[in-house]
Structure 1
Amino acid sequence: MLDPISLSAVSAVTTVLGAVGSGMANEAGKWAWESTGGFVRRIAGREVPAPTTPGELDDVARLMVDQFRRDPRLAASWTAFAARMNGGMHGAGGGTAFGSCRPSLPVPTRFFTDRKEALKALDREASRRADGTPRLALVHGAEGMGTSELAVHWGTQQAGRFPDGQLHTDLGAASGPEGVREPGAVLRDLLRQLGVPAEEMPTSAARLSEYFRRCVADRKLLIILDHAHSAAQVRPLLTSAPAVFVIVVARNPFLGLDAVRVPVGPLADKDAVRLLAKLLDKPALAEARAALPSVLARCGGSPYALRAAAPRLTVPVSDSSAGGDPVRGAAEDTYRLLEPATAKLYRLMAVRAWPAIDAASAAHVTGTTPEEAAAHLEKLAEVLLLECGTTADGHARYHYRAAVRRHAEAAAVQEDGIAGCSAAMTRMLKRYVDLSTSAAHQALPESWRVPAPSAARRGRTYESRGQALDALIAESGNLVQAVHCAEESGDPASAVRICRSLWPLQLKAGHHEMLLPALRIGARLADAHWPGAADAGALHAQLAHTFTELYRWDEAESEALAAARAEEASGHRRGHASATEFLGLLRLRQWRWQEAHACFDEAGTVLDAMLPTDAGTADVPRAQALLERHRGRALRGLGRTEESRGRLETALRYFRDHGDTYNTARTLTDLAETYLDTSETRAARPLIEEAITMLDGQSAEYHVAYLRGMRERCAAEEQRDTD
C-alpha cells in the first residue's frame, strides 16, 4: 500500500499520472486517462484540470497526497486504482518492450575509398569510456562528398558492437527547408524500426522523446541521423544511454551540439584514381588516362561526381560552368547524354521537390504511359541522376539529390520555359487532388468531412478501405508538398481540397506532425478566400483534432472555436455541431467535465435545429447517439454515475440497433467502467464479455487487451470479496 506520509509519495503518484498520460495514443490509453481524471476528482472533491507539464503533474500529485494524509482510506483506494491502471495499460500494449525485429542499416556503398582518419574518429567516440554524456559524432561535408556513405560504411563494419540493432532515419534537410522533418515524426520512425507499434507511442513530441529514451536506455544501438538541419532538430533525438552511439550527418558543422566533429572533405587525387580503378576495368582506365586530369579537376574529389563520371571518362565534358560544384557539374555532363524523352522527365519532375516520385506520377506529368515512365526513371537511377528506394509494398520510389534537382530545375526553366514548368506543376497538382479525394472518400465513405470526387475524376478504385488508407499514407509526403505547391502557384481551391482529404490520415493513421504545416496553409487560404464558409470551418476542426492529439490544448481550443464560428456563419449546422463536439472532446481530455457536458448539450441543440434540406441531415441520428455517449463520459467524470449510465444505455441501444459494432463495443466499455467505479463487478463483467466477443477478429487488439485487463480486475475484486 502507498504510505501517505512517505517522502516518495508525490513521486510515486507523479509516476503513475505520467505513465497514464503518455499512453493516450490508442483508445485504451484515452479510457485510462479519463478514468484517472475522474478518480482524481473524487479524491480532491472538486474538478482538477488535467496536468500537461511536469510541474503540473507534481502539483496534482501533491494535492492528492495531502488528501491521503487526511484520510488513509483514500490512499488505499488510490493504490488499488493505480494497480488496475498499470495492469490495464500493460495489458493494452503499454510499456517499452521491443518487437521481434533487429533494425539494420541501408545497403552500404560497395567501393569505399580512403576516409581512414574519419573512420578512426568514429572508432574513438564509439569506444570511449562512458561518462554520462551522449556518445555523439557530427559527420559533416559538402554535398556529394560521401558523408552518409561514410556513416553507413562504418556502421556496417562495426555491426558487432551493436547487437540490438542499427537505426537509420532521414531528417530531410537534403531536399530543402520544406522537407525538414519535425522531431516527433523522426522519433516515430525510429520507434517503428525498433518494433514499437504506433498505438503504443505517445502523441506529443516531448513525451515521445522521453519514451524513446526509456526504450533505448539498456540497449546497444547505433543511430544514424542523416541530413540533419540544425542542433534544435537533433537534440530531442539524443540519449545519454551508455551503449547508444549517435552519428549525425549534416552539410555544415552547426553549433549548439556537443559532438565530436568529423569533417569529410574532397578525396585526394590518388584516392580518386583508386576509386575509379575499383569502378572500371584496367583497359577502360588505361584508355582514359589522358582525360584523367580534366576529369579529376571537374569532379573536385567528390565520390558522387567520380561515380557518375566513371562510365564516360572518354566523353568530352561540357564547357558550361557548374560554379565549382562537382555534383552539379556531374549532373550536367550526364544530362547531355540522355535520350530526349528521359531528359524531359528528368527536368519536369524537378520543378517541385517531390519527396517520392513513382511511375504513375511521372507519366501524368510527362504525358507518357506508366510503363514508359518507369523505364525512364530506371535509366535516371542507373546514371545516378535519381536515387531509388522501395516502399513497404515493394514499389519503386525515386528522389533527387538536392544539387541534382537544382540542376534539373534550372534546365527545365531554360528548355521548357516558365509556361512549361507551370503546366507540369498544374498536371501534378491535378493528379494529387484526384488521388487524395478518391482515396480519402474510399477510406471513409460515410464521413461528410471528406469531399467526394466528381464522377469524371473518380480515380483508382481500391479493393478495401485499408488499401485506400495505405495509398494516402504512401503519398502523404507528396500531398503535403502539393499543398505548398498549390499555395505558391495561386491555386487555393486545390490546396483546400487536398487538405480536407487528409482527414482519414489524421483520424486513422496519425501523422499529425507531418500534416500540420499543410493544414495550417489550408485553413489560412480558406479564411482568406472563403471566410466564414464550410471549408474554413472543416479545416479549423481538423487543426483542432491534430492539436488535441499533440497535447497542444490551447491551440486546439482556439481552432475548435474558430471552426464553430465559421460553420455557424456559413449556416452549416452539421459542421457547427461537430466543431462544438470537438471542443467537448478536448474538455474531456482536459478533465473539465462540466464544460465538456455543456459543449455536448450545445452540439445537441444545433443538431435538433437541423432542417431536412441541410447538408448532413442523414447523419444526425448517429451524431446524436455519439453525443449521448460523450455526455455519459462527462457525467462519469463528474461522479454522476446513475445519469452517466442512463446516457450510455441510450447510446448503446442505438448502436446495437444499427449494427455499429465499433461504437457498440466502445459504449459497452464506457458502461462497464462506470460499474467498476463503484466496484459493481458482477454488473460490469457481462458488458466486458459482450464487448470482447463483438471485437473478435475486428483488428482491435488494443481495445480487446484493455477489456481483458478490466475482466482481470473484476476477477481479482470478486476473489477479494470471497476471501
Structure 2
Amino acid sequence: MSQLGVPMLGELLRGHRRRLGLSQEELADRSGVSVRTISHVETGRIARPRPATVRHLADALGLAAAHREEFQEAATGTRLARVPNQLPPAHLLFTGRAEQLARLDAVLDNDLAISAIIGTAGVGKTALAVHWAHSVADRFPDGRLYVNLRGFHPTAAAVTTEEAVRGFLTALDVPAERIARDPEAQVGLYRSLLTGKRVLLLLDNARDAEQVRPLLPGAPGCLALVTSRNHLTGLVATEGAHPVVLGLLAEDEARHLLARRLGPARVLDAPDAVGEIVTRCARLPLALSVVAARAAMTPQFPLATYARELRDAGARLDPFAGDDPVTDIRGVFSWSYRRVSPEAARLFRLFGLHPGPDLTVPAAASLAGTDRDTARALLAELTRAHLLDQPAPGRRGAHDLLRAYAAELTRGHDPDPDRRAALRRLLDHHLHSAAAASEALSWYRDPVALPVPDPAVTPETPTGYDQALGWFATELPNLTAAVHTAARTGFETHAWQLAWTLVSYFDLTGHWAEWADTHETALRAARASGDTVGEARTCRNLGRVRCRQGRYEEATARLRHSLHLSRDLGDRVGQAQALRNLGGVEGRLGRFPEALDQVRRALGLFRAAGHRVGEGRALNQVAWWESHLGDHRAAVEHGRQALRILQDLGDRDGEGATWDTLGHAHHHLGDHQEAITGFRHAVRLRRERGDLAEIAESLDHLAATHRAAGDPGTAALLWREALEFLDRLDHPDAHRVRALLNEFTGPLPDPGPAAAR
C-alpha cells in the first residue's frame, strides 16, 4: 500500500493478471502495451504510467467500474473524488402532483434551501420526493444522499443522528480512521465536506424536526428535502423550511394513476366502476395502488368486480389488507397511531363514532368528555401526526379510510358502555348547540323538553341571528348525519328533537330536501320508541315541507295525523298549529272557504290556550283567506288586529307576513299606494330574516301591484328578482312567475329542478 492508503499499481496489475491466468506476453497482446512496460509497472520501476497505458491495461483486464476506479487511483497515487448517488429508484408510474412539483422547483435557486413534504400515511410523500429528486439530480453534481430515518417504522428504531451522519460520511468516501467517535465532531466533518458543494439530501420519513436538524448542511449550495407525517412546524419556523403539504389526489389524478397502472383502455371501458373505486379508496394513493395491483394480477376480471368488493366491505379496511407491511393500510396507519399519546389515541378512536365530516374543538371536548383546552391540544397532536387534517380553521376531519380505521380501533379497544356514553355526549352536544342556534334564528317556536345533557358536554351557544345562521351553514352536514346516526343507534329522542331544531334553518334557506329527509328518519325513530309527542311534532313539520314542495296530498295526510295525535294528547297548541298548516294547504289548492275554516278553528284554540303569538299569526291567516274570498275590508280589520299583537310581542317574522296580507287586501280594494307601502314593509322585514320563499312571495305581490298601478317596468324587475329566489328553491310558483315575466321580456328558459341548488 502507498503512504496515502492507495494500493501500489504494480500489486494490482499483477493480481488482476494472475486472476485471469495471463502471462505478461499475453496481456501485452491483449492491451497493445509492451511486455517491457508491463514488467516495469509490476516491479514498480514505472509508478506513474501514462493515462492511455492505464486505460488500455484496464480494458484488457476487463475491469468493472469499482476495480477500474481503484486501478486509476493507484496509477495517480491519489483517491479519485467519488460522487455518491444514494437515491432509491424512481417510480416509473409516478403520476400527478403538478402543483407540488412546481412548488419544489421554486426553491431550487435558493441558497441553503430546505423543503418539507408533509402529509398523512399513504399519501405518497416518498414517491413525490424521489421522483422530484431524480428530475433535478443534474443540478447537484457533487452527489445525492439519502437516508430513511424510520421515524414511523412499525418495528425498527428510528435512525439516530450518529447513524445517519456516519452513513453520509461513508458515502462521501471518508476513510473509517478519519471518522471521530464524538458525534459533534462527526457532524462538523460532515458539514465541512459539504461546504462549497452542491449536494441534494433526501431525509425520508423524519419523526420530527429534532431528528432532522443535525443532518442539515451548514453552508449554501445544498438542498435538503425532508418527508414526514409530522407537521415539522419547528423546522419551518426556525430553519425556514418551505412546507409542501401533500393531500389526497384530485379526482382526475386518481383516475390517471389507475390508467397508468392498468392501461388506459381498461379504465376508459369502465368509467362508473373506476369512479366508485376512486371514491371508496378516498383518493389515497396507497389504497389506489393496492387495488390497482390486485386488478393488474387478474386482467380477466372487470373493474366492476373490485368496485363491488369495496362497496360490500362498507366501512371496513379488509380489501386493503395484505402480507406486506409496507402496503397493508391498517399497518401503515398504525405507524402514526402508535406514536401519539394515549389520550390523543383515545380521541382518535372515538372520532370513529362521529358521523359527520369534521369536528370542532367543543364537539371534540364533548365526545371525549374533557375540557376544551385539553381537546384543543389533543386535536393539535393528532393533526401533527396527520391522523386528522384541518379543512378549515378550528375544524378537524379525516378521509374515509382513516375514519374507517378509527372506527375499527374503537370497536376493538373501547368497551361498549364507553362507546355508547361517548356517542351520547356527542349527540347531546349537537342537540343543545342546534337548539341554541335555532332559538337565535326564530324565537317563535313552541318549546320542546330536551333531555338534560351529560355534565361533561360543552354545547356551543351561537348568539345573534347572523352567527346562528353561519353556524348552521357550517355544521349542517354534521347535524343531518347525527339525526340518522341517532335513529340507527337507539337514541330515538335525540333523532326527532335534533331534526326539530333544524327546521328554523331549513325554513329560511330552502333546504327542503334535507328537511324532508331528516324528518322521515325522525318520524320512524319517534314511532319506534312510542314517542307520541315526537311523532305529532315531526308529522307536522313533514306536512309543512311537503306543502312547500307542492306535495299537497301527502302534506294533508301528515298534518291530519299530527292533528289527531295532538288531540289525543290534549295538546291545544299542537292542534292549533296543525290546523294553521292545514289551512295553508287548503289555500294552496284553491279551497279558500276550507282554509278559512281551519284557521278560525286554530284561532279559537290559541285563544283558549292563552297563546298570544299563535293568536296573532292565526288572525293574520284569517285576514289572508278573507281577502282571497273577497272580503277585503274584514281582512284589513283582522290584519290590523294581528299587526298590533305581533308588533307588541316583537315577532318581526309574523309582522312581515301581516304587512304582506294588508298589502294584498289594499291591492284588491284598489288602494295601490297603501298596498305598495304594505308590501315594501313585508319585503324589508322578510329580507331581514332571510326566508327566500317569503321574500319571493312579497316581491311577487309587490310586482303585481306595480303592474296594476300602471308601472310594468318596475313590475318586471321585481318579478325577475322573485324568480331568481323561486328557481333556487325549485318552488312550484316559479312557473307562474316565469309566465308573467314572459309577457314583458319574451320566453325565459326554465332551469328545471337542478337550478334549485
With normalisation by structure 2, the TM-score equals 0.48
Q: What amino acid does structure 2 have at the position aligned with 1:505? A: Y
Q: Does structure 1 residue 505 correspond to structure 2 residue 499?
A: no
Instruction: Tell me by how many angstroms 1:323 deviates.
Output: 10
Distance 1:583 1:266 in 2: 45
Alignment of 1:501-540 (within 5 A): 501-530=501-530, 533-540=532-539
Q: Is the 8 A contact 1:266 1:301 kept in 2?
A: no
1:363 alignment partner in structure 2: 365
Match of 1:434 among 415, 429, 432: 432
Q: Which residue identity is paired with 2:272? A: F
AA matched with 1:495: A
In the alignment, structure 1 residue 565 sits paired with structure 2 residue 564: yes
Q: Which residue pairs with 1:716 in the alignment? A: 710
Aligned to 2:553: 554
* Larger radius of gyration between Structure 1 and Structure 2: 2
Secondary structure, aligned partner of 1:385: coil
The equivalent residue for 2:614 is 623
Q: Deviations over 1:677-708 (max 9, x none)?
A: 35442553554566678889787994786676
CA deviation map 1:51-95 (0-9, x unaligned): xxxxxxxxxxxxxxxxxxxxxxxxxxxxxxxxxxxxxxxxxxxxx
Q: Is the 8 A contact 1:350 1:408 kept in 2?
A: yes
The alignment's C-alpha RMSD in Å is: 4.8
Q: How many corresponding residue pairs?
A: 430
Q: Which residue of 2 aligns with 1:598?
A: 597
Q: 1:692 to 1:400 in 2, by over 3 A?
A: closer
The letter for the 2-side match of 1:507 is: D
Label 1:426 to 1:696 Cα distance change in 2 as closer, same or farther (>3 A).
closer
1:401 Cα shift? Answer: 1.9
Aligned amino acid, residue 365 of structure 2: A
Do structure 1's residue 419 and structure 2's residue 417 form an aligned pair?
Answer: yes
**C-alpha distance in 1 between matches for 2:356 and 2:279:** 29
Deviation at 1:495, TM superposition (A): 2.3
- Alignment match, 2:635: 644
Please say if residues 469 and 504 of structure 1, whose CA atoms lie closer than 8 Å, have aligned partners that are also in contact.
Answer: no
Q: Which residue of 2 is the match for residue 398 of structure 1?
A: 396
Pair 1:254 & 2:272 matched: yes
State how far apart, in whole Å, the 1-side matches of 2:341 and 2:566 are.
Answer: 54
Q: How does 1:107-126 map to 2 (within 5 A)?
A: 114-115=94-95
Counterpart in the other structure of 2:407: 409
Give 3-state SS (helix, strand or coil) of 2:577's partner: helix
**Partner SS, residue 502 of structure 1:** helix
Q: Which residue of 1 aligns with 2:588?
A: 589
Structure 2 counterparts to residues 161-172 of structure 1, below 5 A:
none
**Greater Cα offset, 342-351 or 590-599:** 590-599
Distance 1:329 1:675, change over 3 A: same
Per-residue deviation at 1:630? 1.3
What displacement does 1:386 show? 2.6
The residue correspondences of 1:329-344 to structure 2 (distance < 5 A) are 329-344=331-346
Q: Deviations over 1:390-427 (max 9, x none)?
A: 1xxxx332222222222221122222233332232222
For the residue of structure 1 that corresponds to 2:402, the secondary structure is helix
Distance 2:321 2:711 in 1: 84
Map of 1:670 onto structure 2: 661
Shift of the alpha carbon at 1:623? 1.8
Query: How far did residue 352 of structure 1 move?
Result: 3.6
Structure 1 residues 678, 322: CA separation in 2 closer, same or farther (over 3 Å shift)?
Answer: farther
The aligned residue for residue 237 of structure 1 is none
Measured after TM superposition, the shift of residue 356 of structure 1 is 1.7
Aligned counterpart, 2:374: 372
Identity %: 21
Give distance in 2, aligned partners of 1:358 and 1:718.
51
**Corresponding residue for residue 654 of structure 1:** 645
Residue identity in the other structure for 2:710: A
Shift of 1:565: 1.0
**Alpha-carbon displacement from aligned partner over 1:333-353 (angstroms, at most 9, x marks no partner):** 332333322222211111243
Instruction: Return closer, same or farther for 1:707/1:397 CA change in 2, 3 Å cut-off.
Output: same
Cα offset, 1:366, TM superposition: 2.2
Runs of at least 5 residues in structure 2 that lack an aligned partner in the other structure: 1-90, 99-120, 125-248, 253-266, 296-319, 714-757
Report the CA distance shift for 1:420/1:683 in structure 2 as closer, same or farther (over 3 A).
closer
Cα distance in structure 2, aligned partners of 1:447 and 1:266: 41
The separation in 2 between residues aligned to 1:699 and 1:298, in whole angstroms, is 48
Whether the aligned pair in 2 keeps the contact of 1:584 and 1:595 (CA below 8 Å) is yes
Q: Distance in 1 between matches of 2:605 and 2:620?
A: 17
Q: Counterpart of 1:716 in 2: which secondary structure?
A: coil
* Larger relative contact order, structure 1 or 2 (CA cutoff 8 Å, min sep 6): 1
Q: What are the equivalent positions in structure 2 for 1:126-525 lying under 5 Å apart?
A: 253-254=271-272, 327-390=329-392, 395-451=393-449, 459-525=459-525
Gap runs ≥5 in structure 1: 1-110, 119-142, 147-223, 228-248, 277-295, 303-317, 611-616
Look up the equivalent residue of 2:347 and give its one-letter code: L
What residue in structure 2 maps to residue 286 of structure 1? none
Kept in 2: contact 1:681–1:718 (CA 8 A):
no
Answer yes or no: is the 8 Å Cα contact 1:437–1:450 preserved in 2. Answer: no
Is the Cα contact below 8 Å between 2:355 and 2:482 reproduced in 1? no
The Cα offsets for residues 116-171 of structure 1, whole Å up to 9 and x where unpaired, read as 8x9xxxxxxxxxxxxxxxxxxxxxxxx9899xxxxxxxxxxxxxxxxxxxxxxxxx
Shift of 1:575: 0.6
Q: What is the rounded CA distance, in whole Å, between the counterparts of 1:263 and 1:576 in structure 2?
A: 51
C-alpha distance in 1, partners of 2:409/2:683? 61
Q: Sort the Cα spacing of 1:442 and 1:458 in 2 relative to 1 into closer, same or farther, 3 A.
A: farther
Q: Structure 1 residue 524: deviation in Å?
A: 2.3
User: What TM-score, normalized by structure 1, do the two folds share?
Assistant: 0.50
Take 1:266 and 1:400, find their aligned partners in 2: how far apart are those partners?
A: 14
- Give the equivalent residue in structure 1 for 2:579: 580
Contact in 2 for aligned 1:685/1:711 (Cα 8 Å): yes
Conserved? CA contact 2:427–2:494, under 8 Å: yes
1:336 counterpart letter in structure 2: R
- Return the alpha-carbon distance in structure 1 between the equivalents of residues 681 and 280 of structure 2: 68
- 594 and 427 in structure 1: CA distance in 2 versus 1, 3 angstrom threshold: same
- Cα distance per residue 1:175-199 (max 9 Å; x no partner): xxxxxxxxxxxxxxxxxxxxxxxxx
1:512 Cα deviation from its structure 2 partner: 2.8
SS of 1:360's equivalent? helix
Q: Which range moved further: 480-489 or 578-587?
A: 480-489
Give 1:674's aligned amino acid.
Answer: A
C-alpha change, 1:527 and 1:144, in structure 2 (3 Å) is: same
**What is the rounded CA distance, in whole Å, between the counterparts of 1:564 and 1:336 in structure 2?**
57
Give the structure 1 partner of residue 240 of structure 2.
Answer: none
Instruction: Say if 1:300 and 1:486 are closer, same or farther in 2 by CA, change over 3 A.
Output: same
CA distance in 2, matches of 1:425, 1:718: 58
Task: Output one character per residue of 1:270-295: Cα deviation in whole Å (capped at 9) or x when no partner.
Answer: xx9xx99xxxxxxxxxxxxxxxxxxx
* 1:564–1:580 contact (8 Å) kept in structure 2: yes
* 1:475-498 Cα deviation digits (max 9, x unpaired): 322222223332233232322332
* Alignment deviations for residues 498-525 of structure 1 (CA, whole Å, 9 cap, x no partner): 2332232233344332243332232223
The residue matched to 1:591 in structure 2 has which SS? coil
Match of 2:313 in 1: none
User: Hey, what's the Cα distance between the residues in 2 that align with 1:428 and 1:322?
Assistant: 37
Distance (whole Å) between structure 2 residues aligned to residue 404 and residue 670 of structure 1: 55
The residue aligned with 2:131 is: none
CA contact (8 A) 2:355 2:485 kept: no
